[in-house]
Amino acid sequence: MSTLALDTADFGNVLQPASPKGKFRLPGVALIQTTHGLQRVMLLTGIVIVAIFLIVAICAPWLAPYGFAQIFQPQQAMSTTHPLGTTVGGFDVLSRIIYGARTAVEVILLAVALSIVVGVPLGVISGYLAGWLDRVLVLVMDALYAFPSLLMAIVVSIMINQGRSGGFTGILSAAVAITVIFVPQYFRVTRNATMAAKVEPYVDAARVAGAKSPRIMFGHILPNVSQSIPVLMTLNAAESILTLAGLGFLGFGIEPNSAAEWGYDLNKARSDIANGIWWTAVFPGAAIVLIVVGVTLIGESLNDVLNPLLRTRGGTTTADEQELVEVVETSEEASQTNEETSQEEDES
């Protein structure tokens, strides 16, 4: 619901503050400037966490003490040679975590890119042409959206490689599996934005000037509806990490020798837990939690700043809620006096 409700917000002003074409201002700076107080803290925390993960992902070969597929004596405790110990399969936990960041980033980028490439054009076409095509697409997308994402990811991963995966195909299949979950969301957002945009005068003008439908859709409407996508992207990035880990945990992700993946490591750590070996589970899990928190913080802040319609639905401080503070605070003061008076009444 929360993501589908993004609908038809006008993000233009904040993302690209009225600058002429070609002169692109770094979107982050303008964004941070529009935040304040707790919200800015949340946004900055999120950005810092994500930045650290990106650096770790890029520099993995230099940061990791060993390779992700290198095998040592299994189930070693934490020591100077293996700072976070080794797994039941003999992998070095720290190295797996560091390389896992790389896998996660690869899958997220691929999944988000694929979902945009498929979902956004479909949404524009569906919203612009309307009619029966639109109805069928909406019905299909709604059905897909209602389905548990993990199950859909499993089905797709079976389709792509019968559940067996190595190297790049593993990453690709995880990304495609996640894509199928996200396409309905991008579809919904762009479709609704297109429905609103197609009655704008500039579309009529283009039509009068003799532009054909494809040109109107992708030349005129698409640039105007694409501003709603960044928010969805960050929200989806968080979900795709969780889906990837879920697939891995069920043994349906990426083979351990072709890439490090946190969900797979957690699956293998199940037997360790029973023996009281906690480091093989706690550290990869903490890595997942940290990156998802980071991405979620960015997503929520973006959501609040860029989408005034959602302000009352999100969970963070907004100008709208600032008003509420006053209401609530004054009412609390009032309530205290009220309670006092009611107590007095009770006593008398």
Partner 1 sequence: MAQAVSSRMALARYLLLRFVLIIPTVFILVTVVFFFMRIIGDPITASLGGRLPPDEIWARKEAAGYNDPILVQYGRYLWGILHGDFGRTTDNQAVSTILINYGPATAELVFWGLIVALAVGIPLGRLAARKYNKGADIAIRSFAVLFYAAPVFFVALLLKLVFSIWLGWLPVSGRASPRIQTLLESGVQTNTHVYILNALQYGEWWVIQDVLLHAILPGLALGLLTAGVFIRLIRINLLQTMRADYVTAARARGVPEKKVVSKHAFRNALIPVVTVMGMEIALMLGGAILTETTFEWQGLGYWLSQYLLKRDFVAVQGITTAIAVLIAVASFLIDAINALVDPRVRY
Contact of 265 with 88, CB cutoff 8 Å:
no
Q: What is the phi-psi region of residue 131: left when phi exceeds 0, alpha when psi lies from -120 to 50, beta otherwise?
A: left
As measured in angstroms, the least distance from the Cβ of 17 to partner 1 is: 29
205 binds partner 1 (CB under 8 A): no
At position 32, the amino acid (one-letter code) is I
CA dist 288 and 245 (Å) reads: 8
- In sequence order, what are the residues at sequence separation of 6 or more whose Cβ sits closer than 8 angstroms to the Cβ of residue 114? 175, 176, 179
> Quick one: which of 63, 69, 109, 150 contacts partner 1 (CB under 8 A)?
150
Nearer to partner 1, 14 or 298 (CB): 298
CA distance 271 to 266: 10
125 vs 269, beta carbon nearer partner 1: 269
Radius of gyration of the chain (CA): 24
Considering beta carbons, is residue 19 or 335 the nearer one to partner 1? 335
Closest contact distance (angstroms) between CB of 257 and partner 1 is 18
The 8-class DSSP code of residue 321 comes to H
Query: Is residue 335 a contact point for partner 1 (CB under 8 A)?
Result: yes
Compute CA distances 207 → 143, 194, 223, 288, whole Å.
34, 15, 16, 49
Q: Among candidates 259, 270, 279, which has minimal Cα distance to 94?
A: 279
**Position 130 contacts partner 1 (CB under 8 A):** no
Q: Is 241:285 a contact under the CB 8 Å cutoff?
A: no
Mark residues 90-129: x for contact with partner 1 by CB under 8 A, - for none.
----------------------------------------
327 binding partner 1? (CB under 8 A): yes
Q: Residues 34-53 vs partner 1: string with x where CB under 8 A?
A: ----x---------------
- Regarding 144 and contact with partner 1 (CB under 8 A), the answer is yes
Q: Which C-beta is closer to partner 1: that of 168 or that of 278?
A: 278
**Sole residue written with tokens 């199940």:** 270
List of residues contacting partner 1 (CB under 8 A): 1, 38, 139-140, 142-144, 146-151, 154-156, 158-160, 162-163, 238, 242, 245-246, 249-252, 263, 266, 269-270, 273-274, 276, 278, 281-282, 285, 288-289, 292-293, 296-297, 300, 312-315, 317, 321, 324-325, 327-329, 331-332, 334-336, 338-339, 342
